[in-house]
Amino acid sequence: MHVIDHGKGQPKSRGEVNVLSESARIARGNITDLAKLNVSNHDAVIFPGGFGAAKNLSTFAIDGKDCNVIKEVERVLKDFHKARKPIRLCCISPVLAAKVLLGVDVTVGHKEEEGGKWPYAGTTQAITALGAKHTVKEKNKVVTTPAFMCETNIAVRDVLKLSGK
């Protein structure tokens, strides 16, 4: 959506960032366009959270419950869900599944603000408005956790156990 200078915590005035190039830089590895992902070649899919999921993989940051999810993300989520393979979503990325997997159970944190600890409580209402159920459990191998949104740990090992690997 826009480029952020994370050192200053504000948008940059100019320049674009290529998501594939940035992903390769961060992962220090070979990155492939999501359009080429085939569910049969993978044991699980993991979507990290952060504003990228809310601004680039979807329009949730702007549109809330009326958001759109980019078509390749939607296809991948539906393909993995249909194949009953593990899907791992953390932080804000569970809204992606809430939007495209009808009736899915997800979690992004608490339902109430809790004295400043959970300033994103409104997200749970958006998830419910999307037709998903907000709980803290997994169903159909969709594993979600709140991460940064609610000061918790990320347990990637749990999703790998679901794949049987």
For the chain, the farthest-separated pair of C-alpha atoms sits apart, in whole angstroms, at 46
Distance, first Cα to last Cα, the chain: 36
**Residue 67 annotated in active site:** no
DSSP string spanning the chain? ---EETTTTEE-SS----HHHHHHHHHTS----GGG--GGG-S-EEE--SHHHHHTSBSHHHHGGG--B-HHHHHHHHHHHHTT--EEEETTTHHHHHHHSTT-EE--S-SS-TTTT-TTTHHHHHHHHTT-EE-SS-BTTEEEE-GGGGT----HHHHHHHTT-
Q: Of the residues 67, 90, 91, 150, which is catalytic?
A: 91
Two structure tokens written together for 152: 């918790």
- Catalytic residues, by residue number, are 91
